[in-house]
Amino acid sequence: MQNIKIFAFSDEVGANIDKQINALMRNNLNGMEIRNVDGTNISDIMADKAKEVLKKLEDKGLRVWSIGSPIGKININDTFEGHLEKFKHTLEIAEILKAEKIRLFSFYMPEGENPENYKEKVLNRLNSFVSVAKDYNITLCHENEKGIFGDIPERCAIIHKALPEIKAVFDPANFVQCNVNTLGAWETLKEYVDYMHIKDADNDGIIVPAGKGVGNIRQLAEDYLSRGGNTFTMEPHLFDFDGLKNLEQANEATKIGGAFADADEAFDTACNSFKNILRGE
């Protein structure tokens, strides 16, 4: 496993950055896909705070792999100008943190409407992100997420074919929760995948440790590695951590499986389950 890099949404153990760093260290991870810092979303922190976080991470031999931003998690009909300014600020924070990637989304669709009707508007807005990011050495990565334009593989492919600058973050559990077979989704999207989120779900859409659901994580990880990929982000979602409710629409709440004493136990279980898969256990 020496060439494999494993990062994590370490805010799932708690808001405090020192607590997050401790969780990364005890699980021997490479760093974080940073999402919330001391109770503030990464896209809202200021430069001084980003520099403080960077020093703490580097002092422990850790790094920020990707910015787990909320960019693109607004309704497609919401006003865009302010959101674009937020993206510009996120790029500046990403540069300070020496991140290689920014994770983003393709906008929530109006309930009951055909997402295809919004294809051009989605692509135009995503292209605005691409245009702004061209002066930064940062790759934009689209995550498949429930309720957005790119929640199924066919519409994700529309994005990547139209905007090849945007790579894919492949999240198996999100596809399961959209009633999509992950192996079929992988065949559609594998050529666009930059890295994977490790999150599994069972047939009822309940989040479970990697390998315990129907996300086919073992097969996906094997194929990803065989294609030269080597980077994963743990996204446990096994405990009702601080800030979870702020990540989703009210009608798309994550269903959490398992019983854990606390967020630390849930986080460690998630990491160990995936490491066992990588070891072939």
Q: What is the DSSP string of 166-197?
A: EEEEE-HHHHHHTT--HHHHHHHHGGGEEEEE
| pLDDT for res 281 | 86
- Within 8 A by CB and 6+ apart from 177, the residues are 146, 201, 205
Query: Contact at 8 Å (CB) between 101 and 141?
Result: yes
Q: Side-chain half-sphere of 184: how many Cα atoms within 13 Å? A: 10
Query: Contact at 8 Å (CB) between 182 and 176?
Result: yes
- 51: which DSSP letter? H
Give the SS3 label for residue 136: coil
Question: What is the C-alpha to C-alpha distance for residues 97 and 63, in angstroms, rounded to an integer?
Answer: 8
Please give the C-alpha separations between residue 81 and each of 14, 102, 123, 125, 129, in angstroms, as whole numbers: 32, 19, 15, 10, 11
pLDDT tens across the length of the chain (281 residues) = 569 999 999 999 999 999 999 999 999 999 999 999 999 999 999 999 999 999 999 999 999 999 999 999 999 999 999 999 999 999 999 999 999 999 999 999 999 999 999 999 999 999 999 999 999 999 999 999 999 999 999 999 999 999 999 999 999 999 999 999 999 999 999 999 999 999 999 999 999 999 999 999 999 999 999 999 999 999 999 987 665 555 555 555 566 666 788 999 999 999 999 999 999 98
Query: Which residues on adjacent β-strands are paired with residue 234?
Result: 8, 198
Element of type H or E holding 198: strand 193-198
| pLDDT for res 111 | 93
| pLDDT for res 18 | 98
What is 5-278's CATH number, 2.60.40.10, 1.20.1250.20, 3.90.170.10, 3.20.20.150? 3.20.20.150
